[in-house]
Structure 1
Amino acid sequence: MGAIPPAVARYRRTARYRRREEDEVSDAVRVTARLPAPPARVWPALTEPARVARWFGDLAGPLTVGEDNRLGFDDGDFFTLRPTALVPGRTVEFDWRFLGVGKRQRVVWTLEPAGPGAALLTVADHDDSRTPAEAAQLHEGWTDFLDRLARHLSTGRDARYALRDDIDGAIDLPAGPYRPLAHPTLLDWLPVAEDGFRPAWFFVIDDEGPRRFALREWELREDEKLTFTVAIPETAGTPAARVTLAPVGAGLRLSFAHRGWTALGLPDGRAQELRRRFTATWVASLASARDRARAAAGPG
């Protein structure tokens, strides 16, 4: 979702993509695919919002070097991004943050001809803090997205995914006295209310107002891990959340994963809307934890 972009962690290998020996799996993940179109056809699919929306996500506007943009997905996931280089027909480079709060990562797309009617596209995703396991997962995610691009170029049809099972993300906090996974401090940033005896409700609060969901199976290991499930009315689903705190560099990384959104038995539209609302709440919660940790750490 290290801060792996979870939106690229869906992997489905098909015959259209075959891993090349030069693909790299490390802190700088690199994946190359041969695409069934010349560079002149591939370039618009990488840069023009209407084309990017057919296989990847929704750009807020045209890519412009130095200007902030946003790449959104139907299920509520998004990246904030800023292009740093655009070489027409050749290179797209940008920095992005998953959910707008994750660690900044640098992504570089490199396009080159590969004979009549074909092109090679390489994507390199740089982050010096990810583990080998995280890099391998990210490699699989980029493999899936390059396959979706190849299918779109081959058929002209949409190739986007509709709903991802996990909501997950992470934010880096400064070192200091703030303890985001200690009771009752965690109630300051996590939208949870107690019933007088124990945590009982998880509140989703966004532009549509508050809505509460019953909490179950709450378990807290202070300063390390929190787990719980959330009951979804009118379904048998109880998506399970896991929040962890771990040292990274000179500070701490607060991470979460909330799983079980594709097994609720809801119509696609309702499932997407529910997941979007929970995603927005988690984003706001991470940002609140970051702000409180910064305030507790003091100047510098």
Structure 2
Amino acid sequence: MGTDDRAAVPQGGITSGHVEVRVHCAAPLPRVWAAITEPANVEQWFGYLAGPLRVGEENRVDFGDGDFFVLVPRRIEPPELDFEWRFLGVARQELITWRLAPTADGVSVTVRDHDDRRSPAEAAEMLEGWTDFLSRLERHLRTGKNTRYGWRDDIDGSVELPAGDFHPLRESELYEWLPIASDGFEPSWFFVLDEEGPRRFRIRDWALTQDRLLTFTVEIPDSQHNPACTVRLREAAGETWKLSFAHTGWTRLGWSAQRAQSVRRRFAATWIAALESARTRAA
């Protein structure tokens, strides 16, 4: 535990889509290095790392609510760590670099998230995310406490698709990748299928703007709130399109955290499978 009880505030910025955030940690270099590389320490402020980091070997950091990153270390040379990762295993690959620099009273930690194809809004979101993560790292090293966040209200993700004949946000092609069924007039059921078996949920408030936007809600029995979903399709860099979704409202079901997270994990897995289906169909 550091000797200074004052929190250090992360500082960051954005350059051409690249996000850089820096924070000072009042802890010795070996302890900071262990906090970002060793599974037992990483889970105290970030997520569950599946195993020790090894260059070139696929690993996974899981947050327990259905969200995760699949990562592959490219460099592990204290005090420098580089890895590539994909959110939910399907998003565009990003390069993350960590640099630790000893100071007179601790370590300066700098993280750079490399992606020059981000929109300004996406870069701002990443800046906010890394600022929060480094705040949690700094607080964990300063206090010795678990500083991980509990779980997220929304499930979101994206996949890049090659431009071509597949149009995921057209009525006739939605059924090829999205787990929905019609009542004969419009989509009425959203299906979740995993190791617990299939289950269907009533769709409400369906609205489709062809090739651009889809919105609907999913009725969760016995809950106080119906999570709302937004699916978007937009041009990305080159001859590609970005298909993204956000399904929000999982902390507002009026259930225990354990029960709500269980359902959230099932929906997250279903959305990942849907994005993978869209990518396969577009290939």
The answer to whether the 8 Å contact 2:189/2:203 transfers is yes
The answer to whether the 8 Å contact 1:170/1:256 transfers is yes
**2:51 alignment partner in structure 1:** 61
Please give the residue correspondences for 1:70-85 in structure 2 after superposition, counting only pairs within 5 Å: 70-85=60-75
CA distance in 1, matches of 2:194, 2:103: 48
Query: Structure 1, residues 164-192: CA drift from partner, whole Å, max 9, x if none?
Result: 01111110001111111111211111001
**1:3 alignment partner in structure 2:** none
What letter matches 2:172 in structure 1?
Answer: P
**1:251 alignment partner in structure 2:** 240
Please give the residue correspondences for 1:132-151 in structure 2 after superposition, counting only pairs within 5 Å: 132-151=120-139
Residue ranges of structure 1 left out of the alignment (5+ in a row): 1-14, 295-300
Rate the CA distance shift 1:263–1:17 in 2: closer, same or farther, 3 A: farther
What letter matches 1:60 in structure 2?
Answer: A
What letter matches 2:215 in structure 1?
Answer: T
**2:3 alignment partner in structure 1:** none
**1:107 alignment partner in structure 2:** 96
Superposition RMSD in Å: 1.1
The answer to whether the 8 Å contact 1:29/1:124 transfers is yes
Query: Structure 1, residues 252-271: CA drift from partner, whole Å, max 9, x if none?
Result: 11011111111111101111
2:263 aligns with one of 274, 279, 282 = 274
What letter matches 1:29 in structure 2?
Answer: V
- Aligned: 1:206 with 2:197: no
CA distance in 1, matches of 2:203, 2:7: 43
CA distance in 1, matches of 2:43, 2:30: 18
- Aligned: 1:50 with 2:45: no
**2:111 alignment partner in structure 1:** 123
CA distance in 2, matches of 1:236, 1:49: 37
The answer to whether the 8 Å contact 1:17/1:143 transfers is no
- Aligned: 1:260 with 2:249: yes
The number of aligned residues is: 276
Instruction: After the TM superposition, list the runs of 4 or more consecutive aligned residues in structure 1 that deviate by more than 3 angstroms.
Output: none
Q: Normalization by structure 2: what TM-score? A: 0.95
- Aligned: 1:97 with 2:76: no
SS at 1:189 equivalent: coil
Q: Give how far 1:161 is off.
A: 1.1
Q: Give how far 1:18 is off.
A: 2.2
1:38 aligns with one of 24, 28, 37 = 28
SS at 1:241 equivalent: strand
- Aligned: 1:218 with 2:209: no
Rate the CA distance shift 1:237–1:96 in 2: closer, same or farther, 3 A: same
Decide which structure has greater strand share.
2
The answer to whether the 8 Å contact 2:156/2:247 transfers is yes
The answer to whether the 8 Å contact 2:9/2:135 transfers is no
Percent of residue pairs bearing the same amino acid type: 53
**1:160 alignment partner in structure 2:** 148
Q: Normalization by structure 1: what TM-score? A: 0.90
What letter matches 1:274 in structure 2?
Answer: V
